[in-house]
Structure 1
Amino acid sequence: MGLSAATEIDILATARRKVVGDYVPDSSEPYMNPKQLEFFRNLLVEWKHSILDAAAGTLQQLQDGPIREPDMNDRASSETDWGIELRTRDRQRKLIAKIDSALRRIDEGEYGFCEVTGEPIGLGRLIARPIATMTVEAQEAHERREKISRDD
């Protein structure tokens, strides 16, 4: 059917492996130097291409025709699988918007710095989550505020 949850999680890891080559950003270098920015740009672009390739496969399956399972249980299972697949594609569509935003921040010289505090986000966090916009501390504070407002 499309991507399993494990495969979906591995899309970024695959993109990372394609980009890494001989260079991995290191904390001994000046933060967000041109070489690091180019590394993150390539990583984001590769990640986006991987998502778009997976989405093209889903689109092709949808165009191949409707579900034609003779057994009602099999049909229900197939329809549930399609629903999950389409929700996954919707999440990935939103992820592509975040990737595009990160690429814009690279172009504008804002990438790698917290949108709340202005402090460096950190290479480790950006390698793990290249679309991060906040430091770990700012993200945790944001999530606490969200939880409190949800509980009210």
Structure 2
Amino acid sequence: MNIIKKNNTSSLSILTIAGVYPYKQKKNEKYMNDNQIIHFKKILYAWKKQINKKIKNTLLYSNNKFNNLPDMIDRAVQEEEFSLELKNQYRENKTIIKIERTLIKIKNENFGYCELCNTEIGIKRLEAKPTASLCIDCQSLSEIKNKQRIKLSF
């Protein structure tokens, strides 16, 4: 029986996949200069390529693996594995959409800035989550508001 692991791509593995090291900011260096943009483009394109490869492999695996098993328990296990694969693929597709949106932001020269308050998101935060669109303060406020909405809905 195969065990399907949840996609937990850490920021370090994203950098490793891209073949880059954490960005070393120079003193008095302009935020989101050409070198930083190139750095993040490498990360985003490599991450997208890795996800697409994983999706392709999942589809190939699913097509070759899924067959009618006579034993009901084996069939149930296989269907559950397939369901988990589809959920992972859905998450990965959402990540690709976020990557593509981020690449558009780079093209439009508004990458690296918070969508709410327009402050710098920060190099380290963007390396941890290259698709981040909010600074840490706005992200924290957003999460608090979401928790409050959830509590009020019960």
Q: Is the TM-score greater than 0.5?
A: yes
Asked if the contact 2:17–2:50 (Cα under 8 Å) also holds between the matched residues in 1, the reply is no
**Conservation of the 8 A alpha-carbon contact between 1:2 and 1:85:** no
Give me the whole-angstrom Cα distance separating, in 2, the residues matched to 1:36 and 1:88: 31
Structure 1 window deviating more from structure 2 (46-55 vs 71-80): it is 71-80
The offset of 1:68, in angstroms, is 2.9
User: Deviation string for 1:63-112 (max 9, x for gaps)?
Assistant: 22633333211211111111011011001111111000000000111100
| Structure 1: stretches of 5+ with no match in the other structure | none
* Structure 2 counterparts to residues 3-82 of structure 1, below 5 A: 4-5=5-6, 8-10=7-9, 13-21=12-20, 24-26=23-25, 28=27, 29-64=29-64, 66-82=66-82
Greater shift, 71-80 or 130-139, is seen at: 71-80
Same amino acid, percent of matched pairs: 27
The normalised TM-score by structure 1 is 0.88
Structure 1 segment 118-137 matched on structure 2, within 5 A: 118-137=118-137
Residue deviations 1:22-46 (CA, integer Å, cap 9, x gap) = 6724263321110000110110010
Partner of 1:150: 150
- SS of the residue aligned with 2:102? helix
Structure 1 residue 151 displacement after superposition: 1.7
Q: Which amino acid aligns with 1:4?
A: K
Paired position in structure 2 for 1:109: 109
Q: C-alpha displacement at 1:60, in angstroms?
A: 1.0
**Structure 1 residue 47, shift from structure 2 partner:** 0.3
What secondary structure is seen at the aligned counterpart in 2 of 1:46?
helix
CA contact (8 A) 2:66 2:78 kept: no
Q: Report the aligned-residue RMSD.
A: 2.1
Q: TM-score, normalised by structure 2?
A: 0.87
Q: Does structure 1 conserve the Cα–Cα contact (< 8 Å) formed by 2:37 and 2:106? A: yes
Alignment coverage as a number of residue pairs: 150
Report the residue type matching 1:80 in the other structure.
E
Which has the larger helix fraction? 1
My pick for the range that moved more, 97-106 or 18-27, is 18-27
